[in-house]
Amino acid sequence: MKGFLIDLDGTLYRGHEPIPHAAAFIQWLQQHRMPYLLVTNNSSRTPEQVAEHLQELGIEVPAEAVYTSSQAAAQYLTEQRGGYRVHMVGEAGLRIALEASGFALDDATTPDYVVQGIDRSFTYGKLMEAVRHLKHGASYVLTNPDRMLPSDGGLMPGAGSLAAAITAASGVEPVVIGKPSPIIMAYAIERLGLPAADVWVIGDNVHTDIRGGAAVGCRTALVLTGVATADNVQEQLMSAGVTPDLICDDLEHFIEQFNISVSLRNHVKKSFL
């Protein structure tokens, strides 16, 4: 049995456009009853909103198969047991995940944590407030380190860009939850219920998806449909300093390569019988 941790942006869709073969790939997983989880660094939406968005693109996935960096951040804070007062810099997905885990977001006087994700209404005032809390001893937790995000109009600044400003002003480095952090990867693997060696991580970003998968002992497949493309893949690999197990044009190509690898392993096993 193999399990799969699959990226969203740049792997299954780009903005409001599905990537070719994405729906067929999910159907392939479901037909073969292979466990999978869609793991996203995007902290702005809930799993239900992600599943709804995918459905609009013709990709049928239950909300239970989506795991966001907001959920991972809430799980991490719960395990720390360092307090339940949170000053949040982020959007609805992060707020809902934190509140569902019992964290109080209204007491901004003396928070135990500053938890930050993508915030497209970020202001200088929000920067000042976050820095003030960190200077007074709050712990800093960042949902994900992505400095740029794919969108319909190209790349846009991500949570990592905001974190760079907060870190520069406060001098406090955050605990990073999202890919390539082993924190979210370990949580996701635990949800699959399989050993890391039996899990494939599939994504379009060498620096997050592939590096994160390799760090926890998973096999990795890079698809050239998002951040990494046929034109820049060698540059991406050199800058990241990590090599995926497979490099595939798209998800259809991954299925072909995966089936070939399974056939080869079965042939080798039979030769020893």
User: Which residue in 64, 72, 73 sits closest to 35, CA to CA?
Assistant: 64
Between CA 19 and CA 183 the distance in angstroms is: 28
CA atoms within 13 A on the CB side of 34: 20
Given 9, 112, 119, 204, the catalytic residue: 9
Between CA 9 and CA 158 the distance in angstroms is: 13
Residue 198 is among the residues annotated as catalytic for this protein = no
Given 7, 119, 146, 204, the catalytic residue: 7
3-state secondary structure of 71: helix
263 CB neighbour count, 10 Å cutoff: 10
Residues composing the chain? 273
User: Which residue in 223, 191, 203 sits closest to 36, CA to CA?
Assistant: 191
The two tokens of residue 32 are 């073969």
Residue 7 is among the residues annotated as catalytic for this protein = yes
Task: List, by residue number, the catalytic residues.
Answer: 7, 9
